[in-house]
Chains A and B, each alone.
Chain A
Amino acid sequence: MNNLRKNRLIDETFRYFGIACTLFGLVMLAIFIGKILLDGAGRIDWDFIMSLPSRKPEKAGILTAWTGTTWILGLTAIIAIPIGVAAGIYLEEYGNKNRLASIVEINIANLAGVPSIIYGLLGLEIFVRTLKLGGSLLAGAFTLALLILPIIIVATREALKAVPGSLREASYGMGATKWQTIWYQVLPASSGGILTGIILSLSRAVGETAPLIVIGALAYVPFIAKSPMDEFTVLPMQIFNWVSRPQHGFIVNAASAIIILLIITFILNGIAIYLRNKWQKKINW
């Protein structure tokens, strides 16, 4: 009897502790977003979005930053998606399941956890110096592509694994080759999961700052990038640059830019969640 009461007490205590922990996280996030909105929402207007950077906070805008972010996002996607998906397909469907394969597998999972600044150093050495791309969009995109490749590979493999064996059997049983089975059945059935992984990885790339600083992206770029070889800045770098200025006006600008960056990330994540739900419904046959 006594024991039962004790257990129930522990149970209750843990319940409240759990609720408190959850609330702590949520409240902190709410305070953060609330503060950012208070500081920055009033500053966002068409001019802010369409203006070049300036030494005067009230004139400065994020045009170069968000165009740079868009460029980077597009180039990174073009580089990372085909390589990542192809590698995922190879490892999951074609690679032998031997010791070497499991070593590769563990290492890819580990790569996803390597601090992003290390990727920046790698990018600096390979793309900026050896390939002489300089601090260009292309160098940045290649560096970020390296960073998100493991995420795409792992997501692709998970999505392929989730395709029921009965679907493959059905296709093979009809006389389909391995490639036909992958192309016509397995990939369509796993596309939702693969897309989700791609979008989540891109939303991570959008927020990365450290590797781009390392490869020499500039905080102050007074023109819009017109080609992949141009120098560039991105939203998080612009934010980083503004918060380190003494004038209060730039702090407000930074808050506004943070709101824009958050909106972009939320939209990307929203698409990913939407696709995941749609895909989960579809796969239950």
Chain B
Amino acid sequence: MKNIQANNVDAYYGENHVLKDITLNVKEKSVTAFIGPSGCGKSTFLRMFNRMNDYIEGFRKEGEILIDGKEIYDKDVRVEELRQNVGMVFQRPNPFPKSIYDNVAYGLRIQGIKDKTRLDQAVENALRKSVLWDEAKDNLNKSALSLSGGQQQRLCIARTLAVEPTIILMDEPASALDPISTSKIEELILELKVDYTIIIVTHNMQQAARISDKTAFFYIGELIEYNKTKDLFTNPENERTENYISGRFG
């Protein structure tokens, strides 16, 4: 079922109340886009699904976040396991300063997997899925930093896929890339949606419209509108949504 379910979620950085009473469900094997003006809390919300906010001092969460019906902030949840299941791709490509192979194998190695054939196979699979295999297969031992920005971002996706997550979070994954690399990432997302549940934060309305099934519009910490992408973009229910998507503010 792989449902993500957020019930009445509030989030705070110290005194700063950045997410207010958010309730939202995400269906498995779909693409959900989070849009909204800068600072409205998209990243904060996204990063709650794999608990990346845990390291931020003063961060506090209220309400429920359930994945497959299980509260992920419960004490008995191992956060490392959670993150193997819920992978993340960041705004700026951040490959490890190691070889391409080592980047993709990292997630498995830290799980204690050493078997060479198994690692080789996993690296190849992940690179194929992220459509980087043809470009990288002869350079697996080259530094990941020698790749272009777009290739680095696809490598980061491959690295995430290698640990076989079911959910992938992407925080503006294409905002630091050129148009061609961006469209490659978009194609990739559409392919991945067959097997994975994807949530993507984007500032690019066309991008949200092109690749997502559902779109959530946030405004100063509140979820204003959450609907099928087509409906939200053609027929927004809320005036603020309409103003935002038509570019009148934000």
Residues in A lying within 8 Å of B, measured CB to CB: 97, 164, 166-167, 169-177, 180, 184-185, 188-189, 282, 285
Which residues of chain A are near B81, meaning CB under 8 Å?
Answer: 175
Complex: A110 Cα to B145 Cα, angstroms: 39
| Contact across chains for B83 and A172 when beta carbons are under 8 A apart | yes
| Contact across chains for A170 and B94 when beta carbons are under 8 A apart | yes
Task: Determine the interface band of chain B, counting residues with CB < 8 A from chain A.
Answer: 20 to 34
Residues in B lying within 8 Å of A, measured CB to CB: 50, 52, 55, 57, 80-84, 87-88, 90, 92, 94-97, 106-107, 110-111, 145, 156, 159-160, 163
Complex: A164 Cα to B145 Cα, angstroms: 15
| Contact across chains for B107 and A170 when beta carbons are under 8 A apart | no
18 contacting pairs across A/B (C-beta < 8 A)? A97-B57, A166-B90, A167-B94, A169-B52, A169-B88, A169-B90, A172-B52, A173-B88, A174-B84, A174-B107, A174-B110, A174-B160, A175-B80, A175-B81, A176-B107, A184-B106, A185-B96, A285-B97
Interface residue SS majority, chain A: helix
Q: How far is the CB of A187 from chain B (nearest CB, A)?
A: 12
| Contact across chains for B94 and A174 when beta carbons are under 8 A apart | no
| Contact across chains for A189 and B90 when beta carbons are under 8 A apart | no
Residue with the greatest number of chain B CB neighbours at <10 A, chosen from A175, A282, A285 = A175
| Contact across chains for A175 and B84 when beta carbons are under 8 A apart | yes
Q: How far is the CB of B82 from chain A (nearest CB, A)?
A: 8
| Contact across chains for A171 and B96 when beta carbons are under 8 A apart | yes
Complex: A5 Cα to B111 Cα, angstroms: 70
| Contact across chains for B80 and A177 when beta carbons are under 8 A apart | yes
Which residues of chain B are near A185, meaning CB under 8 Å?
Answer: 96
| Contact across chains for B90 and A175 when beta carbons are under 8 A apart | no
Which residues of chain B are near A169, meaning CB under 8 Å?
Answer: 52, 88, 90, 94
* A175 with B94, Cβ < 8 A, contacts A169-B52, A170-B156, A180-B110 known: no
Query: Which of B57, B97, B163 is within 8 Å of A174, CB to CB?
Result: B163
Q: Which residue of B lies closest to A96 (CB)?
A: B57
* A170 with B96, Cβ < 8 A, contacts A175-B80, A175-B111, A285-B145 known: yes
